[in-house]
């Protein structure tokens, strides 16, 4: 351990050569206090599952207070309800009404993406938001069906059961998937495995969402162009859809439908543009869909355009959610399908909701507990599946409107939920003449916001590999299918992690002139190498997945350096210093690799030196006896110390 009292002559002699920068006090590489096995295990478990110290508030409290805190942990509403006041209520009511006006037309449209009757979209905006309001901790998220998850659910379910031929079974499968999506989400949160959703990379999500937006818009073409045939493709890839659209052209697109659809789409896009330009006018795009629905419905009702081939909604059942618990498949051949679909759709729903919750929490600077949030989202889907709802999550567009309309708490979700319930009870018959083309226009204008070109450009600028992941997911969704696109994004995300782990960076360091600081010679061209000494920094823990690479790479750096020195007539390298600061951990394979490196270097008459091993590494170097093999005096506190000892030895050898 670079002991300054070491009996080794070279080391002691060298002490006088330390320059001003590493002054008289020479520190040893400390072996940290040995922790017990239990303590070590506890610390790993804590960092993995409880890094946010969720029980921190419970410390040093009376039992009754602890119970209250426990209830509050599950139902945050208990916590903030006591501080609720009229000012907050005003904000919540305004925002709740705004998102309600936005969600009603969207719900009807999104239900179609899931191959379900429009009423199920409305049902899903009634019960789940109430559950979330009690259990959720995000103040800004707006709960309900969303486009991407609806599409995903629809695609996955129709691959198992045909929704037209077997509507009852299809519906049961959708509820089953919803139930298991909820179980899955709550389970992840309960087991504190929430970090798993971090494995879906931001870049892949951007690509996937963009692709899904294109796919969803393509799906709307049928309604938008008034194509009536039943032979329209069920595939979602762009090639199949466009072929279907154009082979149906001779059957006749319906021009009235196109006129209605286009004019209202234009109106919606203009409203969107206005809202973007003037943040104060955020309510214009928020209520534009409802206005479109009202105006167009009235127009069709007056002109009876439905008799000219303009397709209309026709009928939405009146009344709130019926119980659907008995419809869930808890056995039989569709059970596994339900679990699988629920798992996939639940994961996507979760990713979206947590991303939204985190974004707005950062904007308003409050904390979101990801795991608790998952329990809330899971519970709302489980309860939803028992009350005729399909998978819901946080909607990005509605959450943004909610935020801008001044929501204060989850009460805005309650307000929205009440409005939806009233709609279901009293207003649904009025939707009879609503043209389908309007719903298509509303969906198109909503999902276009998911295509985030700025984010893609930023990803391109920052990381080309990330961009590849982004584009892979995008084109996978657009040209193949939603599942394949999702699969591509997951695979690329994992491949990137694995690449990072197998091929850590190694750098040659040089000394910055006039300091005792050693830096990457590529980044700091003024950093100079010290003749006869090669300093390599390894930028990762050394594990089985990269130990061979690290050893081989170090030997390659050495070979290249020796060749350069030979050409330049410089002295041969006699010391290889491995700067270990970034090496946070090492396993048996890593130790083994170091041993092999030591042997290889010894055969070439080169001394291996370690600088600044961290606490865990130091411990393991000693546990494995590698510290004895390399000898303790060859382990230093920092590169500067190591160089100070090597330089005079080198001078001796040359002399």
Q: List the interface residues with a copy of itself, window 412-451 (CB under 8 A).
A: none
In DSSP terms, which residues pair with 518 in a beta bridge?
A: 511
In DSSP terms, which residues pair with 542 in a beta bridge?
A: 586
Q: By CB under 8 A, tell whether 59 contacts a copy of itself.
A: no
Backbone angles phi, psi at 510, to 5 degrees: -135, 165
Q: By CB under 8 A, tell whether 169 contacts a copy of itself.
A: no
Q: Which residues contact 514 (CB under 8 A, 6 or more apart)?
A: none
Of 9, 453, 461, 569, which one interacts with a copy of itself (CB under 8 A)? 461
- C-alpha 577/C-alpha 610 separation (Å) is 6
622-651: contacts with a copy of itself (CB under 8 A):
623-624, 637-638
Q: Do 189 and 382 form a contact (C-beta atoms < 8 A)?
A: no
Of 3, 12, 14, 52, which one interacts with a copy of itself (CB under 8 A)? 52
Number of residues counted as binding a copy of itself (CB under 8 A) = 99
597-626: contacts with a copy of itself (CB under 8 A):
599-600, 603, 612, 614-615, 618, 620, 623-624
368-397: contacts with a copy of itself (CB under 8 A):
370
Shortest spacing between CB 566 and a copy of itself, in angstroms: 15
Q: Do 258 and 310 form a contact (C-beta atoms < 8 A)?
A: no
Shortest spacing between CB 540 and a copy of itself, in angstroms: 7
Q: Of 16-24, 309-317, 341-349, 417-425, which segment contacts a copy of itself by CB under 8 A?
A: 16-24
Residue 524: how many other CB atoms lie within 10 Å:
16
Of 81, 249, 498, 651, which one interacts with a copy of itself (CB under 8 A)? 498
Please name the residue that has the structure tokens 């309309």: 405
Of 466, 554, 634, 645, which one interacts with a copy of itself (CB under 8 A)? 466
Please say which residue, 8 or 539, places its beta carbon nearer to a copy of itself.
Answer: 539
Please say which residue, 317 or 596, places its beta carbon nearer to a copy of itself.
Answer: 596
Of 362, 422, 651, 654, which one interacts with a copy of itself (CB under 8 A)? 362
Please say which residue, 9 or 23, places its beta carbon nearer to a copy of itself.
Answer: 23
- C-alpha 456/C-alpha 462 separation (Å) is 10
Q: Do 423 and 170 form a contact (C-beta atoms < 8 A)?
A: no
* DSSP letter, residue 608: E
562-601: contacts with a copy of itself (CB under 8 A):
581-582, 584-589, 591-592, 596, 599-600
Taking CA atoms, 429 is separated from 289, 313, 395, 563, in Å, by: 18, 10, 26, 85
- C-alpha 78/C-alpha 90 separation (Å) is 20
Shortest spacing between CB 543 and a copy of itself, in angstroms: 7
Shortest spacing between CB 425 and a copy of itself, in angstroms: 42
Of 219, 493, 607, 634, which one interacts with a copy of itself (CB under 8 A)? 493
Please say which residue, 421 or 509, places its beta carbon nearer to a copy of itself.
Answer: 509
Shortest spacing between CB 638 and a copy of itself, in angstroms: 6
**29-30-33 Cα angle (round to 5):** 160
Of 34, 42, 51, 278, which one interacts with a copy of itself (CB under 8 A)? 51
Strands 575-579 and 607-611: parallel
End-to-end CA distance of the chain: 28
Taking CA atoms, 269 is separated from 23, 145, 281, 441, 448, in Å, by: 69, 22, 14, 9, 10
Please say which residue, 116 or 486, places its beta carbon nearer to a copy of itself.
Answer: 486
- C-alpha 129/C-alpha 394 separation (Å) is 10
Of 6, 520, 562, 565, which one interacts with a copy of itself (CB under 8 A)? 520
Q: What token pair was written down for 287? A: 């209520």
Q: By CB under 8 A, tell whether 503 contacts a copy of itself.
A: yes
Please say which residue, 198 or 308, places its beta carbon nearer to a copy of itself.
Answer: 198
The sign one gets for the Cα dihedral 279, 356, 124, 412 is negative
Residue 306: how many other CB atoms lie within 10 Å:
16
Q: By CB under 8 A, tell whether 464 contacts a copy of itself.
A: yes
Q: By CB under 8 A, tell whether 314 contacts a copy of itself.
A: no
Backbone angles phi, psi at 380, to 5 degrees: -65, -30
Please say which residue, 199 or 426, places its beta carbon nearer to a copy of itself.
Answer: 199
Of 541, 576, 642, 650, which one interacts with a copy of itself (CB under 8 A)? 541
545-564: contacts with a copy of itself (CB under 8 A):
545-549, 552-553, 556
Of 191, 249, 522, 651, which one interacts with a copy of itself (CB under 8 A)? 522
Shortest spacing between CB 358 and a copy of itself, in angstroms: 7
Q: Do 644 and 19 form a contact (C-beta atoms < 8 A)?
A: yes
Mark 242-271 as b/e (b = at least 16 C-beta within 10 Å).
eebbeebeeeebbebbeebbeebbebbbeb
Shortest spacing between CB 77 and a copy of itself, in angstroms: 24
């Amino acid at each position: 351990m670079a002991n300054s009292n070491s009996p080794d002559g070279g080391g002691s002699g060298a002490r006088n050569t330390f320059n001003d920068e590493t002054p008289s006090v020479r520190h040893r590489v400390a072996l940290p206090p040995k922790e017990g096995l239990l303590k070590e295990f506890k610390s790993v478990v804590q960092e993995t599952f409880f890094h946010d110290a969720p029980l921190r508030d419970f410390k040093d409290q009376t039992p009754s207070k602890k119970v209250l805190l426990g209830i509050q942990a599950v139902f945050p509403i208990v916590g903030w309800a006591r501080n609720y006041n009229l000012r907050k209520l005003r904000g919540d009511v305004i925002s709740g009404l705004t998102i309600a006006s936005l969600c009603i037309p969207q719900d009807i449209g999104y239900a179609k993406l899931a191959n379900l009757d429009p009423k199920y979209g409305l049902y899903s905006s009634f019960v789940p938001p109430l559950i979330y309001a009690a259990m959720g901790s995000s103040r800004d998220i707006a709960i309900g069906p969303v486009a991407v998850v609806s599409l995903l659910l629809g695609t996955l379910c129709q691959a198992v059961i045909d929704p037209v031929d077997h509507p009852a079974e299809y519906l049961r499968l959708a509820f089953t998937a919803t139930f298991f999506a909820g179980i899955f989400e709550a389970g992840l949160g309960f087991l504190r495995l929430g970090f798993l959703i971090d494995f879906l990379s931001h870049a892949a999500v951007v690509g996937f969402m963009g692709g899904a937006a294109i796919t969803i818009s393509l799906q709307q073409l049928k309604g938008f162009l008034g194509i009536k045939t039943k032979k329209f493709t069920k595939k979602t890839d762009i090639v199949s859809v466009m072929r279907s659209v154009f082979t149906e052209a001779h059957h006749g697109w319906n021009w009235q439908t196109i006129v209605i659809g286009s004019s209202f789409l234009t109106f919606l896009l203009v409203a969107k543009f206005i809202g973007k330009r003037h943040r104060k006018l955020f309510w214009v795009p928020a209520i534009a869909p409802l206005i479109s629905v009202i105006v167009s419905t009235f127009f069709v009702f007056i002109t009876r355009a439905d008799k000219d081939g303009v397709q209309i909604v026709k009928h939405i059942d009146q009344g709130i959610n019926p119980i659907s618990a008995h419809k869930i498949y808890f056995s039989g051949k569709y059970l596994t399908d339900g679990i699988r679909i629920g798992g996939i759709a639940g994961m996507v729903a979760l990713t979206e909701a947590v991303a939204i919750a985190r974004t707005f929490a950062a904007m308003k600077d409050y904390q979101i507990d990801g795991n608790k949030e998952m329990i809330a989202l899971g519970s709302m889907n489980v309860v939803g599946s028992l009350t005729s709802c399909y998978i819901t999550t946080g909607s990005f567009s509605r959450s943004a409107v909610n935020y801008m309309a001044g929501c204060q708490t989850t009460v805005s979700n309650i307000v929205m939920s009440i409005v939806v319930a009233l709609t279901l009870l009293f207003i649904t018959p009025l939707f009879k003449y609503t043209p389908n083309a309007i719903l298509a226009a509303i969906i198109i204008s909503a999902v276009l916001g998911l295509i985030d070109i700025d984010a893609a450009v930023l990803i391109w600028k920052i990381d080309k590999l990330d961009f590849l992941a982004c584009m892979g997911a995008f084109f996978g969704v657009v040209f193949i299918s939603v599942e394949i696109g999702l699969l591509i994004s997951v695979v690329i995300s994992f491949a990137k992690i694995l690449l990072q782990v197998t091929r850590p960076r190694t750098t040659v360091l040089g000394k910055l002139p006039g300091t005792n600081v050693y830096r990457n010679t590529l980044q700091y061209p003024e950093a100079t190498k010290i003749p006869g000494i090669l300093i390599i920094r390894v930028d990762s823990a050394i594990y089985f997945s990269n130990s061979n690479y690290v050893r081989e790479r170090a030997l390659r750096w050495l070979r290249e350096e020796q060749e350069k020195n030979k050409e330049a007539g410089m002295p041969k390298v006699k010391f290889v210093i491995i700067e270990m600061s970034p090496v946070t951990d090492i396993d048996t394979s890593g130790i083994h690799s170091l041993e092999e490196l030591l042997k290889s270097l010894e055969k070439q008459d080169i001394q291996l030196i370690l600088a600044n091993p961290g606490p865990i590494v130091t411990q393991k170097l000693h546990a494995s006896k590698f510290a004895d093999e390399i000898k303790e005096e060859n382990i230093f506190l920092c590169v500067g110390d190591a160089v100070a000892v090597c330089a005079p030895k080198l001078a001796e050898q040359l002399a």
